[in-house]
Amino acid sequence: DQQVKQNSPSLSVQEGRISILNCDYTNSMFDYFLWYKKYPAEGPTFLISISSIKDKNEDGRFTVFLNKSAKHLSLHIVPSQPGDSAVYFCAASATSGTYKYIFGTGTRLKVLA
């Protein structure tokens, strides 16, 4: 049972345009969400997080939106740069006791110059 789903395995975007990566979850107990970026042969790097008490969090070019009623979050990258090309994972956690993160299967973003 995949509790966190990233239904798009890959995405190509032109440099300078917006990249939108999506993530859906099924467990209503999840209340903390993160996005990670992963380059080949490296560990995932933390990008941005959001708590369920918010519906938006912004950090530079990266914005995460959370729609609790739809159990959906998205990561917006504006403007996209070639260096953003990587695999992006979303992760969810229920802070009330499980102490573990559930990760999606990742979306490979390719930003075309």
Partner 1 sequence: KAGVTQTPRYLIKTRGQQVTLSCSPISGHRSVSWYQQTPGQGLQFLFEYFSETQRNKGNFPGRFSGRQFSNSRSEMNVSTLELGDSALYLCASSPGDSSETQYFGPGTRLLVL
Q: Write out the two tokens for 48.
A: 């941005």
Site string for partner 1, 43-82 (x = CB under 8 A): xxxx--x-x-------------------------------
Three-state DSSP state, 111: strand
Report the residue from 21, 34, 50, 64 that binds partner 1 according to the rule CB under 8 A. 34
Q: Write out the two tokens for 11.
A: 């995405």
Report the nearest approach of partner 1 to the CB of residue 42 (Å): 6
Task: Assess 88 for contact with partner 1 (CB under 8 A).
Answer: no
- CA–CA distance, 35 with 33 (Å, rounded to integer): 7
